[in-house]
Amino acid sequence: MEPVNNRHRVLVDAIEKRISANYYDPAHLLPDSGLTELVRLATLAPSAFNFQNWRFIAVRTPEAKRKLWEAAGRQAKVLEASATFIICGQLPDHSVLPERLRPSVEAGFMPEATSVLWVRGANALYTGNARMQRDEAIRSATFGAATLMFAAAANSLATGAMVGFDPDEVVREFGLGPDEVPVLLMTVGRTLPDNWPQKPRRPLQEVLEFA
Amino acid sequence: MEPVNNRHRVLVDAIEKRISANYYDPAHLLPDSGLTELVRLATLAPSAFNFQNWRFIAVRTPEAKRKLWEAAGRQAKVLEASATFIICGQLPDHSVLPERLRPSVEAGFMPEATSVLWVRGANALYTGNARMQRDEAIRSATFGAATLMFAAAANSLATGAMVGFDPDEVVREFGLGPDEVPVLLMTVGRTLPDNWPQKPRRPLQEVLEFA
């Protein structure tokens, strides 16, 4: 098979074979180096203005898992998965953007003037617009989460995104900042055989329109 | 090289080599069958309760591109990319959920009683909670967008996520429903050589915490 076709097949397979896992092998441990690698890859996701307005809390000790389990309706997977990430979005604040863009300017591909324009653009888009700020926190964190999902697949690990949790309790128990939204939880680990297959999808004609 | 290692390399490469493309070859055409395949894969993304609360509008005629270009601050990439997807999130409404879950029940892995519990859970989570509804529309659409990004990579196509557009104009010009939010635009096409590299990221210790 040609390399390019193999590449196509591997990527399509990762999408087609992904499941939202509920049952994890509780004996499977992931070292912190493995969790760090997943987050390194997750942060290569895109974000508006390269804001990178996300934060990842890797919950993997028994004590921390127990707290998260309480905040997540006592769902067993939080205890059984190797780790659960609390994926936070941060409300974008243009004042941090010069620092986020400086490495791109220093690398020589982004003109200084462009970074100034971007900061101005971010100011115009977000300042005083609480809804847009929250939307962006959710978008960025979700792009990070989706990329973490594929990073896990690369490492033969299963994932499960969860929205069923008490956000206030998560904020309180895990010390999120006032500018942080717990956007979703993502379990990561080795699956057990009892998981459901990928659930059937809506017919494409319901969700796709050409213009 | 062992197949498993090759698989790891291909997936990590797709994450590491992704860029947000600004410059597209305007001569590159994508047939509707190719756009359909991207959306088929995008809809394999996860969504809460398997709601699949998303819709994809593939903007690819010169007339439709022109309308979207006007709504998107006249950014040239909307005219030059093979197509731009308007990725919409839909406010989740538990009354559509039995229909979305029926194929999973009919496939035999989801007990009927579970689907009833899920509908009840969705009712409790979203009904009367406008913020949670909007959050979910944004999360689902963004998971779909991120998966479309990897589907494009599988087909050696570049992508670019955009939030700089007038949402009201997009709603009006492209006939979005009252329950639909235009969450982001995503250009798709063949890149030209002038694109920037992937922008540098924040140090991991700023965005990763262990608990």
Q: Which CATH class is domain A31-189?
A: alpha beta
What are the structure tokens assigned to A36, written together?
Answer: 């760090």
Q: What phi and psi, each to the nearest 5 degrees, are found at residue A18?
A: -65, 135
Asked if the Cβ–Cβ distance from B16 to A44 is below 8 Å, we say yes
Beta-carbon count within 10 A of B22 CB: 19
Nearest beta carbon to residue B15 from set A59, A138, A150:
A150
**Sequence-distant (≥ 6) Cβ neighbours of residue B45 within 8 angstroms:** A146, B140, B143, B144, B146, B147
Asked if the Cβ–Cβ distance from A183 to B139 is below 8 Å, we say yes
What are the structure tokens assigned to A13, written together?
Answer: 């397979």
- Alpha-carbon A23 to chain mean position: 20
Which residues in chain B are closer than 8 Å to A149, comparing Cβ atoms? 46
Distance from CA of B92 to the nearest CA of A (A): 13
Beta strands in A72-170 (DSSP E): 83-90, 158-162
Alpha-carbon span B79 to B67, nearest angstrom: 10
Alpha-carbon span B19 to B199, nearest angstrom: 8
Q: CA-CA-CA-CA torsion for B143, B146, B150, B156, nearest 10 degrees?
A: 140
Which pLDDT tens digit goes with each residue over A52-95? Answer: 999 999 999 999 999 999 999 999 999 999 999 999 999 999 99
Single-letter code of the amino acid located at B159? T
- Give buried/exposed letters for A96-107 (b at 16+ CB in 10 A, else e): bbeebbeebbee
Q: What pTM does this model have?
A: 0.97
Which pLDDT tens digit goes with each residue over A119-169? Answer: 999 999 999 999 999 999 999 999 999 999 999 999 999 999 999 999 999
Alpha-carbon span A23 to A153, nearest angstrom: 16
122-161 in chain B: CB under 8 A from chain A: 125, 131, 134-136, 138-139, 142-143, 145-147, 149-151, 153-156, 161
Q: ipTM beyond 0.90?
A: yes
Beta strands in chain B (DSSP E): 54-59, 83-90, 158-162, 180-189, 208-210
59-88 in chain A: CB under 8 A from chain B: 59-61, 64, 86
Asked if the Cβ–Cβ distance from B208 to A121 is below 8 Å, we say no
- Alpha-carbon A138 to chain mean position: 10
| Angle at A173 (CA atoms; ends A169, A174), nearest 5 degrees | 115
Asked if the Cβ–Cβ distance from A197 to B109 is below 8 Å, we say yes
Q: B31-91+134-192 belongs to which homologous superfamily?
A: NADH Oxidase (3.40.109.10)
Mean pLDDT (chain A, rounded): 97
Q: In what order do the strands lie in the sheet with A54-59?
A: A158-162, A180-189, A83-90, A54-59, B208-210
Which pLDDT tens digit goes with each residue over B102-159? Answer: 999 999 999 999 999 999 999 999 999 999 999 999 999 999 999 999 999 999 999 9
Single-letter code of the amino acid located at A132? M
Beta-carbon count within 10 A of B177 CB: 11
Strand partners, B128: none
